[in-house]
Amino acid sequence: MLGIESSCDETGVAILRWEPDAPGKGLLAHTLYSQIKLHADYGGVVPELASRDHVRKLLPLIREALAQAGLGVRDLGGVAYTAGPGLVGALLVGASVGRALAWALDVPALAVHHMEGHLLAPLLEEDPPEPPFVALLVSGGHSLLVEVKAIGQYTILGDTLDDAAGEAFDKTAKLMGLPYPGGPALAKLAEQGRPGVFRFSRPMTDRPGLDFSFSGLKTQVLLAWQKSDQSEQTRADVARAFEEAIVDTLIIKCRRALEATGARRLVIAGGVGANRRLRAELVAAGEHDGFRVYFPRLAFCTDNGAMIALAGAIRLASGQRQDETVQVRPRWDLQSLPAA
C-alpha cells in the first residue's frame, strides 16, 4: 500500500506491506518533506504556496520511497491518499496523483480521513493498542477527544470551541516574538522557565464537559507579556506557565473522558503529542490512575504518509475502496466514517 499525505504543509509518502498482527513490521519505506522554510517569512501556512510545493515534491518522494523499499511501481497493490480534512488545494494534489496512479496500475484506491490516520498511528508501534480506547487528537488544527469502540466506530466526546491546542501554541509564540513554527520553539523555551512565576487558568475545567477552548488563555498570556519587563527569562517563565496550562487542561479532560467511557487505554496522536511535558505527565497520570497511554514515535506525531498507508490498508482489508472520482473534503466528520 502506497500512502500519500498532503493535507497541509508536509508532503509525506510511505509504503506498507499489510501485516494484520503487527502493522508496524510491514513499513517498508517512509519519506517526508516539510515546507517550514517556505512559509517562515509569512509566519504561517500560505495555502496556494503549499499546494504548489506539493506538486513539485510529491512525485520525487514517491520515487524515493519505492527505491527505499526496493520496489517498482508495478509492485504496488493499492494507493491510499488523504482526502480530508485539510487545505482544499493541498488535498487535491495528493488525491489527483493517488487516484490517477491507482487507475493507471488498475489497483484499489482508498480516500483516507486525516484524523483517522493520526488516530491509528500508534498501531505502527511494537505494542499497539486494541480497541476500545479513548484517543486525544491534538494538532495545529484539531483538539478532539474520541471514543474508539472499534476501528471506524468513533464517537466525538469533546472538540475545540475556538483555537486548537497546537494553534494556541503557535499564536502565543508569535505574539511573544518567537520564530516560526512557534509551537516547538515555545516548548523548547519553556524548559528554561521557572515554575510558579506565572500561572494561567485551565480553560473550561471548572465546569462539566469535555470540550476545549484556548482563545482566552492566549489573551491572558498576551496581557501578562505586555505588562512584564519582557526580558528573556520572563519570556521563558511565561512560556512555561502557558505550556503547563495547556498540558494540565488536556490531562484533566483525558481523565474525565476515561472515567465517562470506562476505558483503560488512552491513545495520544497529532503534532502536540510530541510535547515532552505532555508525554511525561500523561504517563505519570496513567501510573497513578491505572490507565495505559500509547504514543506514536515522534516522527509519526506530525503528518506523515505511514499513517495514511496504514489506514488505507485496514480499509482495503475490510473490502472498502473508492470509485474513480477524485473528491476531497476540506471538512469531514470523523463520526461519518463506515466501520472497518
Return the pLDDT at 248: 98
Please tell me whether 304 is known to bind a ligand: no
CB–CB of 249/212 below 8 Å? Answer: yes
Q: Please check the confidence at residue 158 and state whether its pLDDT lies above 90.
A: yes
Return the pLDDT at 140: 83
CA distance linking residue 198 with residue 214, whole number of Å: 17
Q: End-to-end CA distance of the chain: give it in Å, rounded.
A: 17
Q: How confident is the model at residue 252 (pLDDT cuts 50, 70, 90)?
A: very high
Return the pLDDT at 173: 94
CA distance linking residue 175 with residue 226, whole number of Å: 10
Please tell me whether 113 is known to bind a ligand: no
Please tell me whether 183 is known to bind a ligand: yes
Return the pLDDT at 22: 83
Q: Please check the confidence at residue 25 and state whether its pLDDT lies above 90.
A: no
The structural domains of the chain, ordered by start, are 2-121+300-336 (3.30.420.40), 129-295 (3.30.420.40)
Q: Which residue has the higher pLDDT, 25 or 144?
A: 144
Backbone angles phi, psi at 50, to 5 degrees: -60, -45
36-54 pLDDT, tens digit each: 999 999 989 999 999 999 9
Report the DSSP pairing between strands 153-158 and 143-150: antiparallel
245 burial via Cβ count (<10 Å: 0-12, 13-18, 19+): buried
Q: Please check the confidence at residue 214 and state whether its pLDDT lies above 90.
A: yes
295-332 pLDDT, tens digit each: 999 999 999 999 999 999 999 999 999 889 999 999 99
pTM: 0.96
C-alpha cell at position 226: 505586555
Return the pLDDT at 186: 96
93-102 pLDDT, tens digit each: 999 999 999 9
Return the pLDDT at 206: 95
Q: Please check the confidence at residue 24 and state whether its pLDDT lies above 90.
A: no
Q: What percent of the chain has pLDDT over 90?
A: 94
Return the pLDDT at 143: 94
Backbone angles phi, psi at 39, to 5 degrees: -100, -5
Please tell me whether 336 is known to bind a ligand: no
Please tell me whether 76 is known to bind a ligand: no
Please tell me whether 211 is known to bind a ligand: no
Please tell me whether 54 is known to bind a ligand: no
Q: What percent of the chain has pLDDT over 70?
A: 100
Q: Please check the confidence at residue 85 and state whether its pLDDT lies above 90.
A: yes
Averaged pLDDT, 148-168: 95
CA distance linking residue 276 with residue 273, whole number of Å: 8
Q: Please check the confidence at residue 20 and state whether its pLDDT lies above 90.
A: no
**Average pLDDT of the chain, as a whole number:** 96
97-144 pLDDT, tens digit each: 999 999 999 999 999 999 999 999 999 999 999 999 999 999 888 899
Q: How confident is the model at residue 19 (pLDDT cuts 50, 70, 90)?
A: confident
